[in-house]
Amino acid sequence: MAAKATPCKDALAKWAAGPGGGAPLDALERVELCGLCPPIEKMDSSLAGLKRCRHLALSTNNLDKIGNLAGLEALESLSLGRNCIKKLENLEAVAGTLQQLWVSYNQIDRLAGIEKCIQLRVLYASNNRIKDWAEVERLAALPLLEHLLLIGNPLYCEWRDNNALPQYRVEVLKRVPTLKKLDGQPVDVEEREAARK
């Protein structure tokens, strides 16, 4: 019978060993622990060794919390899609460097915690549980945010089901005027103009 979960520490050691083997944890710039069987359930303290890691991917696992990011001094992109994460917590440790946060296919209903990630350029958060404009308004605190993905959230589905996606786009742009791409489509001049009114 298979173990219930893969310890993060073990997955990390295996990645560090790599096909060639032998890279020390603190030298790795890219770490991908995606789609492990059995899934990873916890971000543990072994992650602290990833001093130079710029891209950390833990998508397609079974994480229910974000944590143990202290020590990832160089982290630019964090990929946590398709887990069971409910809130954006414990991001303070990487808020000064984080440029991309990928959290689609989780159970996030509030974006509280995102405000501190002032370097953020990309937020992919499709298929979560965001249902209020108040959550989108939090993104106004991010001066560099260019790409936002909200498809499949209750807020998006409500406007889509009312055949009102063009208006939805303008509503998002009113709140987050820095966006260049929304839901995969470039923001055009007319939309920007409509959002200014």
Partner 1 sequence: EEAERDLAEAKPALDAALSALNSITPKDIGALKALKNPPDVIKRIFDCVLLLRHLPVNKASWQDVKGAMVLAGTYEEAVKMMGDMNFLQSLVNFPKEAINDETVELLQPYFAAPDFNYDSAKKASGNVAGLCNWAASMCKYHEVAKVVEPKIAK
CB 47 within 8 A of CB 12: yes
E strand spans, the chain: 30-32, 55-57, 77-79, 100-102, 122-124, 147-149, 181-182, 185-186
* Residue among 24 and 186 whose Cβ is closer to partner 1: 186
- Only segment of 13-21, 22-30, 143-151, 187-195 that touches partner 1 (CB under 8 A): 143-151
For residues 90 and 81, what is the distance between their CA atoms, to the nearest angstrom? 17
Q: Min. distance of Cβ 77 from partner 1 in angstroms?
A: 9
Q: Min. distance of Cβ 33 from partner 1 in angstroms?
A: 11
Can residue 185 be called a binding residue for partner 1 (CB under 8 A)?
A: yes
Can residue 82 be called a binding residue for partner 1 (CB under 8 A)?
A: yes
CB 58 within 8 A of CB 85: no
For residues 175 and 137, what is the distance between their CA atoms, to the nearest angstrom? 6
Q: Min. distance of Cβ 184 from partner 1 in angstroms?
A: 3
Can residue 18 be called a binding residue for partner 1 (CB under 8 A)?
A: no
Number of residues interacting with partner 1: please give it, by CB under 8 A.
30
> Which residues, 6+ apart, have CB-to-CB distance to 13 below 8 Å?
46
The correct pick among 47, 69, 102, 173 for binding partner 1 (CB under 8 A) is 102
Residue ranges in 22-51 that form contacts with partner 1 under rule CB under 8 A: 32, 34-35, 37-39
H or E segment and range at residue 17: helix 8-17
Can residue 57 be called a binding residue for partner 1 (CB under 8 A)?
A: yes
From the list 35, 19, 39, 15, the residue with the least C-alpha distance to 27 is 15
Q: Is 54 exposed, middle or buried (0-12, 13-18, 19+ CB in 10 A)?
A: middle
Can residue 154 be called a binding residue for partner 1 (CB under 8 A)?
A: no
Contact positions vs partner 1 (CB under 8 A): 2, 32, 34-35, 37-39, 57, 59-62, 79, 81-84, 102, 104-105, 124, 126-127, 147, 149, 151-152, 183-185
